[in-house]
Amino acid sequence: MLNFILHTPTKILFGEGQIAELSKEIPADARILITYGGGSIKRNGVLDQVHQALEGRNVLEFSGIEPNPTYETLMKAVDIVRAEKIDFLLAVGGGSVVDGTKFIAAAADYQAAPDPWHILETTGAHITSGIAMGAVLTLPATGSESNSGAVITRRATGDKQHFFSPHVQPVFAVLDPVVTYTLPERQIANGVVDAFVHTIEQYLTYPIDAKVQDRFSEGLLLTLIEEGPRALSEPQNYKVRANVMWSATMALNGLIGAGVPQDWATHMLGHELTAMHGLDHAQTLAIVLPSMLTAKKAQKRAKLLQYAERVWNLRDGSEDQRIDGAIAATRDFFEKMGVPTRMSDYQLDGGTIPAMVAKLGEHGMTALGEHHDITLADSQRIYEAAR
């Protein structure tokens, strides 16, 4: 096990009806800005529940945070925060809204440069404070509600980059599985794939005798494999939605990644697919991961065998057969979730691969993966294999 520091201070309020409890978690005199995306939280009643919980409190709203939230949109919220002296941000939505709100929290008070885009250029290293924030999660997927990271896109340049800071970690997160009942099938499917790949990025590297972390990761993967398809076929099954929601949070709150090597190359290649073609984040992961695992078979051999046995119960045949079987099972799982795994399924012929590789280079992604051995040439081959 590697040395690690693990800090998971976000207080989780989990279960049906917990939105009603959130006012206890926000200081009584706070000037609150509710941030959200489109109108779905109006249609499904979540925004009403939040307003009821905050009755009598000082509350403003900012809407319009888009999937893959943009700097351009978020800077409008930053202006409101400054003008209205907001001191608590309440993100109501999925990972994009939570991520975007983290940027607002950091940018509103950013001292290190005149333009807060600097936060992304320096992955958050110069953030020294943030507006306090909480989250009401409506889409289990990214884990952003209980970690300190965010991914932001700059529309003008097509850049999609990430930052981290303890100053933007939500102080609380409300997770009510009931609010996910009305989500479109595609969003639930994306969320399951996203949580699955988050787990894989922290698990499927090389053995380091971190037995608890391995067993926890395998537990999340098994749960997502069992419950993901049921979340689609039984959309109002509370138990299933609760297990999916809790898995997604646990997949990226720092716990399973503490003390182990981490990969994240699939995410980096995926980000360029989203930035260039607007694909959903999970779609890009479903495209890249099978071809990434195939390309890195040698380096990931021991963990691929463990994954094959413990997650997919593949115990017979040669080692290579078990490894290939596990990669095929992973692809099948994504397909079963309704998330296609080839660029061609999204009408992409691979013609932009050189441009995406160039963007990877611009973003410094020239030595990816747990061994820092994935060059731009490797990334090109991995994209090609995913056409």
Q: Rule CB under 8 A: choose which of 73, 148, 187, 223 binds a copy of itself.
A: 223
DSSP secondary structure letters along 72-124: HHHHHHHHHHHHHT--EEEEEESHHHHHHHHHHHHHTT--S-SSTTHHHHTTT
Name which of 14 and 164 has its Cβ closer to a copy of itself. Answer: 14
Structure-token match 């002296």, residue found:
85
Name which of 8 and 366 has its Cβ closer to a copy of itself. Answer: 8
- Let me know the angle formed at the C-alpha of 24 by 100 and 99, rounded to the nearest 5 degrees: 10
Cα 184 to Cα 206: distance, rounded to the nearest angstrom: 36
CB 90 to a copy of itself: min, Å: 18
Q: Contact between 117 and a copy of itself (CB under 8 A)?
A: no
Name which of 139 and 348 has its Cβ closer to a copy of itself. Answer: 139
Residues 174 and 19 sit within 8 Å (Cβ to Cβ): yes
Q: Contact between 11 and a copy of itself (CB under 8 A)?
A: yes
CB 213 to a copy of itself: min, Å: 8
Name which of 42 and 211 has its Cβ closer to a copy of itself. Answer: 211
Q: How far is CA 296 from CA 209, 285, 301, 386, in A?
A: 20, 16, 8, 14
CB 178 to a copy of itself: min, Å: 11
Q: Which stretch binds a copy of itself (CB under 8 A): 11-19, 181-189, 346-354, 369-377?
A: 11-19
Listed residue (323, 303, 298, 281) closest to 378, CA to CA: 298
Residues 325 and 308 sit within 8 Å (Cβ to Cβ): yes
Name which of 45 and 207 has its Cβ closer to a copy of itself. Answer: 207
Which residue intervals of 173-280 are DSSP H helices? 185-203, 211-233, 238-251, 265-277
Q: Contact between 27 and a copy of itself (CB under 8 A)?
A: no
CB 174 to a copy of itself: min, Å: 10
Cα 231 to Cα 240: distance, rounded to the nearest angstrom: 6
Q: Contact between 235 and a copy of itself (CB under 8 A)?
A: no
Site track for a copy of itself across 241-270, x = CB under 8 A:
-xx--xx--x----x--xx-----------
Cα 90 to Cα 36: distance, rounded to the nearest angstrom: 9
Q: Rule CB under 8 A: choose which of 8, 129, 262, 352 binds a copy of itself.
A: 8
